[in-house]
Chain A
Amino acid sequence: MTASVKTLVNQPYKYGFVTDIEVDTIPRGLSEDVIRMISAKKKEPEFMLEFRLKAYKQWQKMTEPDWPHVHYPAIDYQDISYYTAPKEQEKKKSLDEVDPTLLETFEKLGIPLSEQKRLSNVAVDAVFDSVSVATTFREQLAKDGVIFCSISEALIDYPELVQKYLGSVVPVGDNFFSALNSAVFSDGSFVYIPKGTKCPMELSTYFRINTEGAGQFERTLIIAEEGSSVSYLEGCTAPMFDTNQLHAAVVELVALDDADIKYSTVQNWYAGDENGKGGIYNFVTKRGLCAGKNSKISWTQVETGSAITWKYPSCVLVGDNSVGEFYSVALTNNMQQADTGTKMVHVGKNTRSTIISKGISAGRSQNSYRGLVKMGPKAKGARNYSQCDSMLIGSDAEANTFPYIQVQNHTAKVEHEASTSKIGEDQLFYFAQRGISMEDAVSMMISGFCKDVFNQLPMEFAVEADRLLSLKLEGSVG
C-alpha cells in the first residue's frame, strides 16, 4: 500500500459527544442487593424480581465464553454501574414535558422526538442509558391494538403478557451474557401486535449510552399474534470514552401462526480509536421463535460500530413451513473485532432459511462469520441456503468464516457458498483513471457488495446505512 492513499483522514465519529445531564446512578458493583434495588426502583411485580434473582444465581455459576475469535482484557463485572438514569425520570405523559436536554440529544443524533419534526411513519422508543425517555405515536398505535412501550411500563401495564413470553425464547441460563442481562436489565422495548393486525407504521428503538462506566443491558420483547406483521428497527450510538463499556442486550421475538416479524439493526456504537482504545463491548443475544406454522422472522443487521461484537441473531423454526432469514453486513475497521453470524435451527417440517452475510474488514481489524445450520430429525424437507462473502480492504485485515452444519434427517437440503474479494490498489486506480474519486469508488464497491442486504432494510434506513458504511471506511483504503 502506498502512503498517498493512506493519508486520507479518518472521519471522526460524529456521535461521540456526551450530554451533560444529572443522573441517578447506583454505585458500581453487582450483588443480590443491587438487583433488588433495580427491581425496586422500577416498581416491578414480584415475579420479575424472582426472574432476576434466578438469573443471577445461574450467572454466578457460569463462565464467560472463550470460543469467539475475539480478544480483550478480562472484564471486571464489579466495576460497572448497573443502573443509570437521567434524574426525575418519571415517564412523561406528553413529549413536551420531557427534559429538553434529552430531546436535544436525540435531535442531535438525528432522531427528532418532538411532535412536529418526527418521521411521519416511524414510531420511536428512545432509550437513554438505562431507561426509556420517550415513545412516540403510542396513542395512534393503540387504536389498532398495537402496544409499543418500554418494557418497564409493560411490566406494570401488561404483566401477564410479559410473564408469559419473557425468557421463553432465550432462557435465563442460555449463556453467560443473557444470564447477566436477565439479572440486571433496566429497560428496552416491548411490542405486541394483536391477531390479524398489520402494524400501521415502522417501529423503532434508539439506544444511547451516555454515562461513562455505565453498562447498558436492554431487553426487547416482540410478540406477533396469529396473522399479524410488524417491522422493527433499532439504532445505537455512544460517546467516545477511553474506557470500554459493556452492552449486553437480549432480544426475543415470538411469531405465532402466519405472523411475520422483520427486525433490522443499524449498530453504530463507538468503536474505539484507531489504536483500539475505548469503544463498546457489544455482547448480544438475539433470537426469534417461529412458533406458529407459516410464520416468518427476518433479521437484517448492519454492524459498523463497537470495539468487539459478539452477536448471533437466530431463528428457531418450530412451526411447519416457517421461514427464517438473516441478512448481515458487518464492517470492521482499525482494531475492531467482530464475531457474528446466526443460528438457524430447523425443527418443523418444510422449514426454510436463508443466510446472506457480507463481512468487510479494513485496517487491522478481525471479522469472523460464525453460523450454525441445524436440521432436526423431524425437519422433513427443510432447506437452507447460506452465502458468506468477505471483502478485505488493505493488507492487514483479517476475515474468517466458521460454518457449522448439523443435519439429522436425509430429506433436508443445505447449501453453502462463500467468497472472498479484495478492494485493492489496482481497482482504485482503475476508478481514478476514469476520474472517479477514491471516496466514490469505495462507496460504489461497498454498495455493490452489500446490495443484497441493504435491499432488505426499510427504505428510510437503506440510504442511511449506505452512507454510514462509506463514512466508516474513509481513510481505510489504499
Chain B
Amino acid sequence: MIVENSEVILSVKDVTAEVDGNAILKGVNLEIKAGEIHAIMGPNGSGKSTLSKLLAGHPAYTLTGGEVVYKGKNLFDLEPEERAKEGVFLAFQYPLEIPGVSNLDFLRVAYNAKRQHLGEEELDAFDFDDLVRERLDVVKMDPAFLDRSVNEGFSGGEKKRNEILQMALLEPTLAILDETDSGLDIDALKIVSNGVNQLTNPNNAVLLITHYQRLLDYIVPDYVHVMQGGRILTTGGKELALELEEKGYDWLQPAGVA
C-alpha cells in the first residue's frame, strides 16, 4: 500500500554493477518506502536478478558506481550477514541444498542470529520449536520438512515454500523475492502468494522480481518497473504489468537504443 510520508526503506541511485568483469547494471534508480510492494519485470538478461543479488551482497557481484541507502545507512558498508540481520531478505530463485544440516537447526541458528543482533535473548530449542510450528501455517508446510536436510530432495514448490517460511520467521524489513513464482504450479503459487500477503504490513516492503504477470494477480504491486539492458525503462502502476503481458517488452524500447 502507498502510505503518505512513510519512511524510505531503500534508495537506489545511479547504480552500476558488474559480474565477472561484465557490466550488467547501467544506472538503476529506485526508491522503496515502508508499506509498498514493488515489482520489477523484464526479459531475461535485463539485470533483474543481478540487482537482487547485488542488494543481498552476493560476492560475485560488484558495485561499480552509484549508491544504495538502506534505512539511512550505506548498504555497501554492511557485510551480507549484517544486511540480513538488519532485515534484508532474499528469497532465492534457486534455493541451495545443504546436506547434513537439518532445516530446523538452520532456521533456529538464523533466527537466533537475528535476535542476538537486535540485543534480544536467543530462543532455546523448545521455544523455537513452538514458534516454527506456528509459522509453518503461513505456507501450509508439513512439520516433517523440519527434520529433513535444508532443501535436500525438496521439489521446486517445496523449496519456494521453505523460502517463505524463512521469511515468516525472520520478518524482514525488505523482502526481495527473486522469481519466486518460477517453477510453481497454480496451487503452490497461491500458497506462496498467500504466505507473502500475510507477511506484509505498513512497516515493511516487498520487491518482487518476476517475468510474468501471473504472480501479480496474487501479490498486487503498488508499482511496476520495467527493466531492460541494465536500466529501469519505465515505471507505472499494476496496470503496466497487464499491458506488458499483452504487448511484450519491445514497445518500451526507446528509439535509437539497442
Q: Which residues of A contact B (CB under 8 A)?
A: 2, 4-5, 421, 425-427, 429-438, 440, 444-445, 447-449, 451
Known contacts A426-B96, A432-B81; 6 additional CB pairs below 8 A are A5-B59, A429-B57, A429-B80, A435-B114, A437-B81, A444-B101
Main secondary structure of the interface of A (DSSP, over half): helix
Q: CB of B105 within 8 A of chain A?
A: yes
Q: CB of B50 within 8 A of chain A?
A: no
Query: Known: A435-B84, A435-B85. Is A444-B57 also a contact (CB below 8 A)?
Result: no
State how many angstroms separate the Cβ of B56 from the closest Cβ of chain A.
5
State how many angstroms separate the Cβ of A305 from the closest Cβ of chain B.
23
Interface residues of B in 64-120 (CB under 8 A from A): 79-81, 83-85, 89-90, 92, 95-96, 98-102, 105-106, 109-110, 113-114, 117
Partner of A432, one of B80, B100, B105: B80
Can you list 29 A-B contacts (CB < 8 A)?
Answer: A2-B59, A2-B60, A425-B60, A427-B98, A429-B57, A429-B80, A430-B95, A432-B57, A432-B80, A432-B81, A433-B57, A433-B83, A433-B84, A434-B106, A434-B166, A435-B113, A435-B114, A436-B109, A436-B113, A437-B113, A444-B106, A444-B109, A445-B100, A447-B100, A447-B101, A448-B99, A448-B100, A448-B102, A451-B100
Most buried by B among A431, A437, A447, A449: A431
* Chain B residues, Cβ within 8 Å of A432: 57, 79-81, 84
Query: Known: A429-B58, A429-B59, A430-B98. Is A448-B149 also a contact (CB below 8 A)?
Result: yes
Interface residues of B in 172-228 (CB under 8 A from A): none
Partner of B105, one of A429, A435, A444, A449: A444
* Chain B residues, Cβ within 8 Å of A436: 81, 106, 109-110, 113
Q: CB of B139 within 8 A of chain A?
A: no
* Chain B residues, Cβ within 8 Å of A440: 109, 113
Give the nearest-CB partner of A1 in chain B.
B59
Q: CB of B170 within 8 A of chain A?
A: yes
Interface residues of B in 127-184 (CB under 8 A from A): 149, 166, 170
Give the nearest-CB partner of A419 in chain B.
B99
Alpha-carbon separation in the docked complex, A438 to B109 (Å): 12
* Chain B residues, Cβ within 8 Å of A449: 99-100
Q: Are B92 and A434 in contact (CB under 8 A)?
A: no
* Chain A residues, Cβ within 8 Å of B60: 2, 425
Alpha-carbon separation in the docked complex, A93 to B168 (Å): 65
Q: Are A433 and B99 in contact (CB under 8 A)?
A: no
Query: Known: A425-B60, A429-B59, A430-B95. Is A435-B81 also a contact (CB below 8 A)?
Result: yes
Query: Known: A448-B100, A448-B149, A449-B100. Is A435-B170 also a contact (CB below 8 A)?
Result: yes
Alpha-carbon separation in the docked complex, A438 to B81 (Å): 9
Give the nearest-CB partner of A451 in chain B.
B100
* Chain B residues, Cβ within 8 Å of A433: 56-57, 80-81, 83-84, 89-90, 92
* Chain A residues, Cβ within 8 Å of B81: 431-433, 435-438
Interface residues of B in 28-55 (CB under 8 A from A): none
State how many angstroms separate the Cβ of B164 from the closest Cβ of chain A.
13
Give the nearest-CB partner of B105 in chain A.
A444
